[in-house]
Structures are given as C-alpha cells and as structure tokens.
Homo-oligomer: A and B are copies of this chain.
Amino acid sequence: MSAGKTGAGLPRGFACAAAHCGIRKKRSDLGIIVAERGVSAAGIFTKNRVKAAPVLVTREHLRASRGRARAIVVNSGNANCSTGAAGMAASRATARAMARELGCAEREILVCSTGVIGLPLDAGLITSVLPSLVAARAGAAESFEAFSGAIMTTDTRPKRSFARCRLGGKTVRIAGCAKGAGMIHPQMATMLAFLTTDAAVPPALLSRLLRRVAERTFNAISVDGDTSTNDTVLLLASGDSGAALRSGTAETEKFAQALERVCADLALQIVADGEGATHVAEIEVRGAPSHRAARRVAETIATSPLVKTALAGADPNWGRILAAAGRAGVPFDPDRVRVWMAGRLVCRRGTPVPFDEADLHRRLLEPKFSLAIDLGAGRGSARMWTCDITAEYVRINASYRT
C-alpha cells in the first residue's frame, strides 16, 4: 500500500479533460471525468441549508440512479448558488448536454460548481464546449493534472493524491484531487474533491466507505469554520482492476485504509493551502467523556480566532487552548487537564509547567506541529487539523469584490 502525490498510476476505466469555456476571463474553468461505462458512484454534500443548484441536482441524480454514474462535469468561476430556478435549469442543461454526448441517462451525470455566489450561470458557455472536451478526454496523467487545475479558485496550487494496494492478487488504484483554500468562502471558494478507483464496489458499500473515511479526513479539517454552499465529495469505482469488494472483509478494510490515506493527504493539502495560512496544527484531544465530546473540543480549538492568531505568531500561549476547551460545552475538571504544544508538556493539573519558551517558539515556527490536550475525563478522543489565521487571510477576504 502506498499513498503520495505521484507514481502510483491512475485507476483504469476513467478519462479526464479540461478547457477554458469563458466563465472566467482566462484561466481554465471547466473539467470532466468520464467513466468509459456506467460505474458505482457515491457522494457527500454540504450540510449548509443553503445548497447550490449543482448540489441539489447531483444529489437527486445519485438517488435516481441508485449510485450509478458515467461522468462528472465541474466548472469554476461561478458557484451557481442563490440563482433560483434559472440556476437549477443551468445545472440540468449541463447534465443533459453531457448525457447526450455520452449517450447515457441524464441521471448518470454529476455536476459541480465553485466560484462567485449569486451570479447567473450561462450554461451555454459549458454546453458549447462539452463536445470537444469529451472528444479530447484521455486516461493520461496530464489530463488528470489539467482537470485538477481547472477546479481551482483561490487555491495557490493543485491538490492531488494517489494510492495503490493489492487486493486478492490484483492491483487496485485510487486517485483523488481536491480544491479548497477558504474553508469555505461562498464568494470564491468551496471544498470539492473527486476520487476514482478501479476496485469493484457495490454502490451501497461505496457510500458507507466514503462516509466513514470523510468523517476522519475532509470533515476533520478547518480553515475558518465556515461551510460552503457547494461542498461536494464524489467517489467513482469502475471495477476495471478485477478486484471485487464485499462488506466486512479484510480486503475491504485494506481498501478503506488506502482510501483514507488519499483523503487525509488531500485534506492536509487543503489546510496547508488555507487562505493566508503559514502553519498547520494537528489537534489531538484525549481523555474526553466521549468521542463526540472530544470532537466538539477539537472543533472549538480548531476554530478559535485566539488560538489561530497565536499560531500565526508562533506564540506558546497554551492558556488560549485551555480556554477554548473550556467553552466547548463539555464537562471536565480543569485541575486534571494536561496540554502539550509541539510535543512539549506546558500545562499539568491545569497549572503551568516550566518550559524553554525560546525552544518552543522555534518549534512553533515549523510548518506543521501538534497541539494536544488530555481532559482527564474519560476515554473519548478526536483528531483535527487546522491552520493559523494571518493578516493575509484578512487581506484576501476583506478585499472588495472585483
């Protein structure tokens, strides 16, 4: 089993392409992933009450097709959100045009959008380019790279990850790419992730695996605590490797672990590329009354502006971690708490432990480090990743729209 940014090869049965269709001024703004025949598909979507049209359409299609799909069409530059009936029509027109190109049912096409909110999306820009895009699709690494570039918004770099594992004597491949940046900002960002594998996985199992893995990866990162109207993760499984997965087997567990490595790698790339971010902190909460309580404490620490600004300053200000934990609504006795920063114990029984401030400051200048807290109140644990909040984050998000 391996996971990384290159070298594991692409899953068989898929082809990609990308182009500039005119939603943005110059940059590539349209990408497709095509399965050469109908494949298993699973998706998870934003929990925001305000859902963009493509989220509504894609969710509806996955239900109607009972987890089968032929292709994904993604545009950047326009989120197609808060666009009313015209927005729904634009997403449906995109899916219909793509289905016509591939000769499949409309419900087998999944659509995603990311970009500015509240502006009408001209589906004609997309549909006029689809025929040439479908003709140009290829299974080559370059096509996958072009796709991963077309979905970027305020991202400073594309995010890709690959894994390979041996299942029942066959080599199974997993590929993923994502876009993030603000997590999430409804004007110009959203988290989108697209995963493909050539394992054969029944739709119901695929959906369960995706949900479980996402909970520990994409749903365990925070850039700013905001949630996009467009967040979508899609996973397609072609079966072309010849390895078939069944529920509850050791093989499936092995596959889930490989999938988790890809998703965790993408999630960390998203946090590291958070708007203005200069540091990634892994937050570990232990000794909570339950896993759920641990998660709540981890989320409160991960989204605390005071913790995140302290990280920007590489300030060993553990009092802010303790204070954030204290307001998470989880019962614990402060006198039993221990806190570590970058591996150094800085607080025990709720009181300070002497430490070398200059040394710890240096450790907090590293691009990645851990923050850990043991509440001494049970066996619940949780892990999350967050980034610092910098003046650059404010600059990016305060700039008047242009």
Contacts and interface: CB of A to CB of B under 8 A. Distances in A.
A47 interface: yes
Given A82-B319, A226-B324, A309-B397, A118 B352 contact: yes
Contact of A399 (B47, B119, B315, B337): B315
Interface in A303-341: 303-306, 309-310, 312-315, 317-320, 322-328, 330-332, 334-335, 337
A209 B162 CA distance: 62
A393 interface: yes
A180 B304 CA distance: 18
Contacts of A118: 318-319, 347, 351-352
A216 B84 CA distance: 36
A27 B119 CA distance: 54
Q: How large is the interface on A (under 10, 10 to 19, 20 to 34, 35 or more residues)?
A: 35 or more
Contacts of A83: 351
A322 B322 CA distance: 32
Interface in A29-76: 47-51
Nearest to A229: B323
A318 to B, nearest CB: 7
B82 A350 contact: yes
Contact of A326 (B48, B322, B391): B48
Contact of A306 (B186, B303, B401): B186
A349 interface: yes
A361 interface: yes
Nearest to A309: B397
A334 B55 CA distance: 14
Contacts of A305: 224-226, 305, 389, 393, 397
Contacts of A225: 303-305
Given A187-B320, A228-B323, 9 more contacts: A84-B351, A224-B306, A229-B319, A305-B397, A309-B397, A309-B398, A310-B397, A388-B398, A391-B391
7 nearest interchain CB pairs?
A313-B398, A50-B326, A117-B319, A309-B397, A391-B391, A49-B326, A48-B326
